[in-house]
Amino acid sequence: MEPRTQGFLFDLDGTLVDSVYQHVLAWQDALDATGIELSVWRIHRKVGMSGGLFANALLRETGREVSPELAAELRRRHAEAYAARADRVRPLPGARELLAHLTSVGAPWAIATSGYRESAGPTIELLSVAPDVPVITRDLVERAKPDPDLFLAAAEKLGIDIGDCSVIGDSVWDLLAARRARALGVGVLSGGYGREELERAGAYRVYEDPADILQHLDELGLR
């Protein structure tokens, strides 16, 4: 029997790149500008969720109906506000080293993000990702997280069964999408969620950040 190859599917913001808090306050700017008041922690808990679900949550929590026009305006304002903060965004400790290590040992990996290509592009550049690495952005699938589409598409691009993939993410949306995809969910604290939240959402293990994962790759079964 051939040994089965294990794949690694990474979320981007908060998992490989230290950008969650900038995204959160950029969403606050966008919401404020359209007259929607939402506490910042509630925005934090929604980052990485699909735009459609975010709109439903806004309706439920603020009573404000989000029309397609308002959704487009929010997205535009968020992109602008995030761009103004993006100069402070860095790769997380160990992110480049972890990805380089996986490449050097022949472990296939990919990136799958709820962000659109346009906004995720500059973030991915920070990581110096080789052109042959699959990067699945929002534009490429029908539904974003917590639907499983992004991770399923990434596994397919790698040519690896999703059941042989680990999904690494900082939010409960990543972990819910991992479960729905039948992948192994692994959490990181670097997006600002608590360890227990990620464990309860189904994380097999929770690490601090990519540097911590690199120290413990054996725990994920990588030979």
Binding site for its own copies (CB under 8 A): 14, 18, 20-22, 24-25, 28-29, 32, 37, 39-41, 44, 88, 90, 92-93, 189-197, 200, 209
Q: Is 19 helix (H, G, I), strand (E, B) or coil?
A: coil
Q: Of 6 and 190, which CB lies nearer to its own copies in the complex structure?
A: 190
13 is annotated as an active-site residue = yes
Shortest distance, CB of residue 64 to its own copies, whole angstroms?
15
Report d(CA 163, CA 148) in Å as an integer.
12
Shortest distance, CB of residue 138 to its own copies, whole angstroms?
23
Q: Of 146 and 210, which CB lies nearer to its own copies in the complex structure?
A: 210
**Residue among 11, 174, 209, 212 flagged as catalytic:** 11
User: What region, left, alpha or beta, does residue 153 occupy, with left being phi > 0 and alpha being psi -120 to 50 degrees?
Assistant: alpha
Q: Read off φ and ψ for residue 206, nearest 5 degrees.
A: -125, 125
Q: Is 207 helix (H, G, I), strand (E, B) or coil?
A: strand
Shortest distance, CB of residue 187 to its own copies, whole angstroms?
12
Contact 170, 190 (CB under 8 A): yes
**Measured distance between the N- and C-terminal CA atoms of the chain, rounded to whole angstroms:** 16
Q: Of 20 and 112, which CB lies nearer to its own copies in the complex structure?
A: 20
11 is annotated as an active-site residue = yes
Shortest distance, CB of residue 196 to its own copies, whole angstroms?
3
Shortest distance, CB of residue 12 to its own copies, whole angstroms?
15
Report d(CA 191, CA 14) in Å as an integer.
4
Q: Of 152 and 203, which CB lies nearer to its own copies in the complex structure?
A: 203
> In the numeric block, which tokens belong to residue 73?
């305006």
Q: Of 25 and 222, which CB lies nearer to its own copies in the complex structure?
A: 25
DSSP string, 83-132: HHHGGG--BPTTHHHHHHHHHHTT--EEEE-SS-HHHHHHHHHTTT--TT
Question: What amino acid positions are annotated as catalytic residues?
Answer: 11, 13
